[in-house]
Structure 1
Amino acid sequence: MNVDLSPILLDVTLRDGGYFNDHSWTTYEAESIVRAVGAAGIPYAEIGYLRGTHHPQRPTASCPPAYLDALATVTGRPDLAVMVRPGEVPVERLAELPDRGVAMVRVLVMGGSVEAAEPYVAAARAAGLDVAMNLTRVSERDPEGIAVAVKACANAGAQIIYLADSNGSLDPDSVSERVGAAVSASPVPVGFHAHDNLGLAFINATTALAAGATALDASIAGIGKGGGNLRLEVIVAHLIVRHGARLRLDPIAADRTTLATQLRMIADGGSKTVVTGLLDVNMDGTAHFSDMVAAEGLDATILALTGRGRPFAELTNDDRGGDE
């Protein structure tokens, strides 16, 4: 019997990729991406942030009702997921999501604040939704701290817990340590969200699987915040070839919806992204870093920051905890 033991994939093209086009995907573009992801056999597509204030011209920034309703009718679509940052949307709104085609809510755990996320987890569970909790910036947490946070998330009702390399600064050894600690502490599945600042998203993702993770995030062409995400087409091809996964590559390769955003990411990327990964910089704090680079250049900026004997993260990280 051919049993598919490959991990669960969740596509983050619309939500994370939205950082490179100001979340200005049209509903038509979102439908095309969701259709391609579904045809490839990916079980989940994360279609944006759920927020209380709607942005009609930027639907993935807030997931207004009309946008959700449109994606719910896409033929052959995967299950739809939305991301929630505690405090940005009334808890009561989660109750309407099943009727609008949403199957999963992913609740951000920012700065280790599991308590702030708990009402959203409870409301999502009460609505019959699948619930994930996403620990951000795990490069700034030691394995012991991650284990404590994972246990708290499981106790809060999470059905899957994702570790996010939000700063794109982890290497395989540090991924193995953190994911291993999470898996050992968690009674529920553990997932991994990679960023590619250092070109390590793929090897970090496969290392996470080897350490016991059973879910991965990825995006078409790797588009996403900072250095981008794990490339969906690469991990799909890997899982087909190495694990016999029942997935398809052609629908992703044939879809051209993301090309303009891919080009923008290429134009905006480069050496700065690599340096932010090496310095473990919170992506929400890169404006200060960019100002320093513009004034002094990369070499002088690196010397100034490392010469102070303090992580650059201390200069930029705020109390929100950042996103994935």
Structure 2
Amino acid sequence: MTLHDATLRDGQHAVAHRLDAAQLRAYAKAANAARVPLVEVGHGNGLGGSSLQIGQALLDDRAMLEAVRDVLTHSRLGVFVAPGWGTGRDIRDAVRAGADVVRIAAHCTLGDVTERHLALVRELGAEAQAVLLMSHMADPGRLAEECARMVGFGAQAVGIMDSAGHYTMRDVTERIGTIAAAVDVPVIFHGHNNLCLAVANSLAAVQAGATVIDACARGFGAGAGNTQLEALVPVLDREGHTTGVDLPALLRAADTAEDRLLEHGAPTTDSVSVMSGLAGVFSGFRRPVLRAAAEAGVDPLAVFTELGRRCAVAGQEDLIADVVRLLAKAAV
């Protein structure tokens, strides 16, 4: 069982991508002391993600990696790349800066876009992983086909992200079980907590065959947050799944995250989070939706409902303004 700590990447969504070098370093050092297998670092949307449209990071990609590289003496360093934002140059720079694992992400029906990126990662000698985003938008069979295709491109681990926090345990069991039966590499699951099911869904994923599970300290992540790492570890241990993580040290790392990273408190499952999860909308839309809805005086729940109807995905943040204008006009 390998735990993939995304606190310093997915957690960036919760603070508008503004973590500084001292914050990154403090948490990375604590996670390393807890013997967390891998720490993922970067902009919330990965390498090359810093932009006016989706949020500018305080530091560039290389500065973030350099801030943590020397303190990760046990933990491996991971990065996340979505083709269209991250480029081959970004991947080369990240590997030069010490990235051990490069995870390539694609929309759940577009695994073919990972081919060139995966080949480059393998060429550079880093571990190549691949994940499907917004995976609730495809059925188990299609997800398995896409994962098998990415294994053919060179992925050494594949899996799915519940980017909208939409799944129940049955959804996870069906999808992970089908993927695990279709590939011969480790299977990944990444959960979000919009319906307060992230830990339960992660356990269901393990029981269905996943061996790489993503989680964050205090659930620090987009929207309602991710699977809570310091809760997941003892649950897995109680169910007989060895993680190799030092739990007392992990609890101290979670306290470090709360003290140093959670400027506005830990993510919570509120009414907006529930509606976002039910509508199947990317968790990273939370902050821009709330901001645009407040400025226009429209109901953010209605905005999420309409975005879900339009099947909006990450990178389509411009749809938020369109939907807000439509709802404001309808109200008038």
Shorter-chain TM-score category? 0.7 to 0.9
Q: Distance in 2 between matches of 1:200 and 1:268?
A: 12
5+ residue gaps, structure 1: 1-6, 306-310
Residues 319, 164 of structure 1: alpha-carbon distance in 2 compared, 3 angstrom cutoff:
closer
Residue in 2 that maps onto 1:218: 215
Q: Distance in 2 between matches of 1:46 and 1:36?
A: 14
Q: Distance in 1 between matches of 2:203 and 2:245?
A: 17
Residues 281, 74 of structure 1: alpha-carbon distance in 2 compared, 3 angstrom cutoff:
same
Instruction: Note the aligned Cα RMSD (angstroms).
Output: 2.9
| CA deviation after TM superposition for structure 1 residue 21, in Å | 1.0
| Partner residue of 1:126 out of 119, 123, 133 | 123
Q: Distance in 2 between matches of 1:125 and 1:108?
A: 15
Q: Distance in 2 between matches of 1:13 and 1:262?
A: 11
5+ residue gaps, structure 2: 318-332
| CA deviation after TM superposition for structure 1 residue 76, in Å | 3.1
Residue in 2 that maps onto 1:271: 271
For residue 178 of structure 1, give the secondary structure of its aligned residue in structure 2.
helix
Identity among equivalent positions (%) equals: 27
Q: Which moved more, 1:234-243 or 1:113-122?
A: 234-243
CA deviation profile, 1:218-277 (whole Å, cap 9, x unmatched): 000001011111101011222334435432122232244432644625577511101211
Q: Which moved more, 1:146-155 or 1:259-268?
A: 259-268
For residue 89 of structure 1, give the secondary structure of its aligned residue in structure 2.
coil
One-letter amino acid of the counterpart of residue 291, structure 1: A
CA deviation profile, 1:54-85 (whole Å, cap 9, x unmatched): 999623xx422x43233221153410001111
Q: Distance in 2 between matches of 1:217 and 1:267?
A: 16
Q: Which moved more, 1:67-76 or 1:185-194?
A: 67-76
Corresponding position: 1:9 with 2:3:
yes
How many residues align? The count is: 305
Q: State whether residues 219 and 267 of structure 2, in contact with CA within 8 Å, keep that contact through their aligned partners in structure 1.
A: no
Q: Distance in 2 between matches of 1:23 and 1:10?
A: 19
Q: How does 1:153-232 map to 2 (within 5 A)?
A: 153-232=150-229
Q: How does 1:39-188 map to 2 (within 5 A)?
A: 39-48=33-42, 49-51=46-48, 58-59=58-59, 62-64=60-62, 66-74=63-71, 76-188=73-185
Corresponding position: 1:315 with 2:310:
yes
Q: Which moved more, 1:143-152 or 1:168-177?
A: 143-152
Divergent runs of 4+, >4 A: 52-57, 265-269, 284-290, 318-322
One-letter amino acid of the counterpart of residue 277, structure 1: G
Q: State whether residues 17 and 223 of structure 1, in contact with CA within 8 Å, keep that contact through their aligned partners in structure 2.
A: yes
Q: Which moved more, 1:74-83 or 1:208-217?
A: 74-83
CA deviation profile, 1:173-226 (whole Å, cap 9, x unmatched): 111111111111112111100000000001100100111111100000001011
One-letter amino acid of the counterpart of residue 73, structure 2: G
Residues 280, 123 of structure 1: alpha-carbon distance in 2 compared, 3 angstrom cutoff:
same
| CA deviation after TM superposition for structure 1 residue 124, in Å | 0.6
